[in-house]
C-alpha cells in the first residue's frame, strides 16, 4: 500500500479546461477554451468533512465532478482511497447527491432509495432491510410507499441523501444538496447531516454557496476563487462533535464565519494583520 | 361528483344538442334537399334501419385500423429505440422518416391494392401502419431524449450499464411521449383505414359503404355510416387517451 491510500481523496495538480464556447463554468480565454480549474491540489482524510465554497465559476462543482469521475481532469491526478477516480466509481466507493434531488418520479420513495442496490444486484431481503434502515435514518419511515411528487422539497432531498448512503460509502460527494431549500428546512437538514455523518463515519466533500452552512458542517472549509478556479485558502473550523442548534449562536461559530468571509472577499482593513495564505 | 358532471359534461352535451336542433330547423325551414344536406332526423332513421349492418362494417374497418396501428407503432418504437442507442441509425433514419411523413396515402392506396390483390385486407393495414409510424416515431424519439442531466450523472456514478440506464431511466421517462404519439396516431389510423377503402378492393368496411351509399344517391345512409365512423374514431381516441393519462400520472 502506498502512502496515498491513507487519504479518502487526493487531488494533485489538477487542471480542467473545457474546449469551445459551450461551457459557462469559467471565463474563456482568447481561443475559446475555458479554464475551470488551474493546478488545484487537495487531500481529504477518511471521516473528514470538507466544504468547497466560492463564487460562481470558481470550479467547485467541477472539482466535485472530477472526484466522482463524472468528468475527467485535463492534467493532474485524482485518487480516491488510493485508486483512480474511475476505479473508485466502478467499485462504488462513494455516494453522491446533487442540488436537484434527481428522484425518478415513476418510482416510489422506497424504490428510489433501493435504486443503487437494485442496479448492483443486492438480494431482495438485503435491499428491503437496508431501505427500511435508511428510511428511518432520514426520518421518512412512513413515506416509503409515497411518490416523489407527494413529498416536499426537503423530504425529497432527504430521500436523495438516503439513496446516496444506500451502499454505506466511505465517501459522500454532495453538490449544494440544500441549495434549493428554505432557510429553516436547510438548518434542520444540516443538523441531520451532522448526525448522519457521525453515525456513518463517512468522509464528505460538500459544495456550497453558504458561508454559515460551510462553517457549521465542516472540519475544513476550502475557499476558492474564480477565473481561473484556484484554492485561495483553506480555513480550519472543526467546531467539535457536539454541534447542536446552540452552536449557531456560539462565538466560535461567528469567528469561523468571519474567517471564511474574509478569505472569500479578501481581508478588510481592520483585520489586515491576519495572515492570508495565498497560493 | 355531481358538480363535476354539471360543469364538465353538461356544457358540451348541451352545445351538441343545440347544434342538432339548429341543423334540423335550418334543413326544414330552408327546404334544403337531402342530397345537399340531410336532416339529423333523416340520418337517425337510417341509423335505425341499417343498424345491424353497422357492426360488421365497423368491425372490419376497426380491425384494419387496430392491426395497422399496432404494427406501425411497434416498428416505430423499435426503430426509435435503435436510433436513440446508435447515432448511425439516427442519421440514416431521419431522411427516411421525412420521406414517409410526406407519402401521399391517397396515391399509394391504389398501387398497394393491385400489389396485394382485391380480396386482401393487407393493403389497408399497410397504409394505416405507414400513417401511424411517423407521429409515434417522432414522439418516441423525443421522449427518449428527455433524460435529465442529473439522472445521467447519477447513472454514471452508479456505473450502470447501457441496458440498465434504458430500463430504469430512459424508457420509463419516454413512456408518456410514446402514448402521446399513440394518441395522435389512433385518430389517424381510423381515418386512413376508411380512406384506404375508397380505392376499391373488399366492400366490407365503413369507407366502402359510404362511397357506395353516396354513389346510389342514398345520402342519409352515407351520413349514417359517417356517424359510425365517428363513433369508431372516438373509441380509438378515448382508449389511447386513457392509456396516456395512466402513463403520465407519475410525472413531475
Read off the pLDDT of residues B38-78 as tens digits, 9 standing for 90 and up. 888 888 888 888 777 788 888 888 898 999 999 999 999 99
Q: Is residue A224 part of a domain?
A: yes
Q: Is residue A252 part of a domain?
A: yes
Query: With contacts defined as CB-CB under 8 Å, which chain A residues touch B251?
Result: 105-106
Residue A47, Ramachandran bin (φ over 0: left; ψ between -120 and 50: alpha; else beta): left
- Segment A41-45 shows an average pLDDT of 86
Q: Is residue A5 part of a domain?
A: no
pLDDT reported for residue A21: 56
**Which of the pair, B249 or B212, is modelled with greater confidence?**
B212
pLDDT reported for residue B100: 83
Q: Is residue A8 part of a domain?
A: no
The backbone torsions φ and ψ at residue A121, rounded to the nearest 5 degrees and listed phi first, read: 55, 50
- Segment A168-187 shows an average pLDDT of 84
pLDDT reported for residue A207: 92
pLDDT at A273 over 80: no
Residues A98-121 pLDDT 10s: 888 889 888 888 889 988 888 888
Range name among A73-82, B80-89, B215-224 with the lowest pLDDT average: B215-224
B171-196 vs B51-85: helix crossing angle, rounded to 10: 140
One domain, residues A164 and A183: no
One domain, residues A51 and A179: yes
One domain, residues A155 and A198: no
Q: Is residue A214 part of a domain?
A: yes
Distance (Å, whole) CA A215 – CA A224: 15
Q: Under a CB-based contact definition with an 8 Å cutoff, are residues A198 and A48 in contact?
A: no
One domain, residues A153 and A55: no
- Segment B189-209 shows an average pLDDT of 83
- Segment A168-184 shows an average pLDDT of 85
Listed in sequence order, the DSSP H helices in chain B are 2-4, 10-30, 40-49, 51-85, 87-101, 105-116, 122-144, 149-157, 162-165, 171-196, 206-215, 219-247
Residues B103-112 pLDDT 10s: 887 778 888 8
b vs e for B45-80, b when ≥16 Cβ sit within 10 Å of the residue's Cβ?
ebbeebeeebeebbebbbbbbbbbbbbbbebbbebb
**Average per-residue pLDDT for chain A:** 80
Distance (Å, whole) CA B72 – CA A7: 57
Q: Which CATH number does the domain housing residue A236 bear?
A: 3.40.50.300
One domain, residues A226 and A149: no
- Place B1 in a pLDDT band, splitting at 50, 70 and 90: low
- Segment A47-52 shows an average pLDDT of 88
Q: Is residue A9 part of a domain?
A: no
Q: How many domains does chain A have?
A: 2
Of A132, A152, A168, the one marking the end of a domain is A168
The residue among B190, B199, B203 whose CA lies nearest residue B236 is B190
Minimal Cα–Cα distance from B131 to chain A, Å?
31
Range of the domain at A117: 103-168
Between CA B23 and CA B30, with CA B26 as vertex, the angle to 5 degrees is 155
One domain, residues A162 and A229: no
Tell me the domains of chain B and their CATH numbers.
50-251 (1.10.3720.10)
Minimal Cα–Cα distance from A257 to chain B, Å?
31
Does the structure's ipTM exceed the value 0.90?
Answer: no
Distance (Å, whole) CA B130 – CA A110: 42
Minimal Cα–Cα distance from B245 to chain A, Å?
13
pLDDT reported for residue A267: 57
One domain, residues A63 and A184: yes
Scanning the structure block, which residue is given the C-alpha cell 459544495?
A207
pLDDT reported for residue A40: 84
Of A127, A149, A168, the one marking the end of a domain is A168
Q: Do B159 and A90 lie within an 8 Å CB cutoff?
A: yes
One domain, residues A190 and A162: no
% of chain A residues with pLDDT over 70 = 88
Q: Is residue A18 part of a domain?
A: no
pLDDT reported for residue A276: 45
Q: Under a CB-based contact definition with an 8 Å cutoff, are residues A140 and A160 in contact?
A: no
Q: Under a CB-based contact definition with an 8 Å cutoff, are residues B250 and B172 in contact?
A: no
pLDDT reported for residue B35: 73
One domain, residues A121 and A257: no
Q: Is residue A64 part of a domain?
A: yes
SS3 A225: strand
pLDDT reported for residue A231: 84
One domain, residues A131 and A173: no
- Segment A193-210 shows an average pLDDT of 86
List the single residue in B154, B168, B173 with the smallest CB-CB distance to A102: B154
Q: Do B153 and A98 lie within an 8 Å CB cutoff?
A: yes
One domain, residues A138 and A204: no
One domain, residues A144 and A65: no
Q: Do A104 and B172 lie within an 8 Å CB cutoff?
A: yes
Query: With contacts defined as CB-CB under 8 Å, which chain B residues touch A96?
Result: 153-154, 157
Query: With contacts defined as CB-CB under 8 Å, which chain A residues touch B252?
Result: 105, 148-149
B171-196 vs B122-144: helix crossing angle, rounded to 10: 150
Of A122, A138, A168, the one marking the end of a domain is A168
Give the β-pairing of A34-44 and A9-18.
antiparallel
Amino acid at each position: 500500500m502506498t502512502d496515498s491510500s491513507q487519504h479518502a481523496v487526493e487531488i494533485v495538480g489538477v487542471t480542467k479546461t473545457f474546449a469551445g464556447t459551450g461551457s459557462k463554468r469559467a471565463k474563456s480565454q482568447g481561443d475559446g477554451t475555458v479554464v475551470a480549474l488551474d493546478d488545484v491540489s487537495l487531500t481529504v482524510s477518511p471521516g473528514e468533512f470538507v466544504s468547497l465554497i466560492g463564487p460562481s465559476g470558481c470550479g467547485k462543482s467541477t472539482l466535485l465532478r472530477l472526484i466522482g469521475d463524472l468528468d475527467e481532469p485535463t492534467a493532474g491526478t485524482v485518487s480516491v482511497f488510493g485508486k483512480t477516480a474511475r476505479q473508485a466509481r466502478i467499485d462504488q466507493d462513494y455516494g453522491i447527491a446533487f442540488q436537484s434531488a434527481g428522484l425518478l418520479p415513476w418510482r416510489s420513495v422506497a424504490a428510489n432509495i433501493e435504486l443503487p442496490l437494485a442496479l448492483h444486484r443486492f438480494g431482495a431481503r438485503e435491499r428491503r432491510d437496508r431501505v427500511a434502515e435508511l428510511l428511518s435514518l432520514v426520518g421518512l419511515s412512513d413515506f416509503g410507499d409515497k411518490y416523489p411528487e407527494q413529498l416536499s422539497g426537503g423530504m425529497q432531498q432527504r430521500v436523495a441523501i438516503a439513496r446516496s448512503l444506500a451502499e454505506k460509502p466511505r465517501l459522500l460527494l454532495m453538490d449544494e444538496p440544500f441549495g434549493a431549500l428554505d432557510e429553516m428546512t436547510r438548518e434542520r437538514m444540516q443538523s441531520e447531516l451532522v448526525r448522519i455523518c457521525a453515525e456513518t463515519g463517512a468522509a464528505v466533500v460538500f459544495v456550497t454557496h453558504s458561508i454559515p452552512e460551510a462553517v457549521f458542517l465542516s472540519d475544513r472549509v476550502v475557499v476558492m476563487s474564480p477565473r481561473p478556479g484556484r484554492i485561495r485558502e483553506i480555513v480550519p473550523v472543526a467546531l467539535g462533535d457536539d454541534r447542536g442548534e446552540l452552536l449557531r449562536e456560539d462565538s466560535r461559530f461567528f469567528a469561523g464565519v468571519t474567517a471564511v468571509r474574509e478569505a472569500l472577499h479578501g481581508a478588510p482593513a481592520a483585520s489586515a494583520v491576519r495572515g492570508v495564505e495565498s497560493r | 361528483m355531481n358538480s363535476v358532471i354539471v360543469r364538465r359534461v353538461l356544457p358540451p352535451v348541451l352545445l351538441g344538442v343545440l347544434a342538432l336542433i339548429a341543423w334540423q330547423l335550418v334543413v326544414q325551414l330552408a327546404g334544403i334537399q337531402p342530397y345537399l344536406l340531410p336532416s339529423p332526423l333523416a340520418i337517425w332513421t337510417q341509423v335505425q334501419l341499417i343498424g345491424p349492418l353497422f357492426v360488421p362494417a365497423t368491425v372490419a374497418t376497426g380491425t384494419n385500423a387496430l392491426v395497422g396501428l399496432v404494427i406501425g407503432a411497434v416498428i416505430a418504437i423499435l426503430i426509435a429505440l435503435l436510433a436513440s442507442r446508435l447515432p448511425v441509425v439516427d442519421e440514416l433514419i431521419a431522411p427516411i422518416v421525412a420521406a414517409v411523413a410526406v407519402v401521399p396515402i391517397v396515391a399509394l392506396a391504389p398501387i398497394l391494392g393491385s400489389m396485394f390483390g382485391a380480396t386482401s385486407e393487407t393493403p389497408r393495414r399497410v397504409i394505416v401502419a405507414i400513417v401511424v409510424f411517423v407521429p409515434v416515431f417522432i414522439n418516441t424519439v423525443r421522449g427518449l431524449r428527455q433524460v435529465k442531466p442529473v439522472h445521467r450523472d447519477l447513472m454514471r456514478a452508479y456505473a450502470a450499464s447501457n441496458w440498465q440506464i434504458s430500463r430504469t431511466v430512459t424508457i420509463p421517462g419516454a413512456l408518456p411521449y410514446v402514448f402521446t404519439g399513440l394518441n395522435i396516431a389512433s385518430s389517424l389510423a381510423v381515418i386512413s383505414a376508411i380512406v384506404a377503402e375508397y380505392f376499391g378492393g373488399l366492400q366490407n368496411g365503413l369507407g366502402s359503404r359510404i362511397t357506395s351509399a353516396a354513389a346510389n344517391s342514398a345520402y342519409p345512409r352515407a351520413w349514417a355510416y359517417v356517424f359510425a365512423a365517428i363513433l369508431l374514431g372516438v373509441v380509438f381516441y378515448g382508449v389511447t387517451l386513457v392509456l396516456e393519462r395512466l402513463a403520465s400520472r407519475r410525472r413531475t
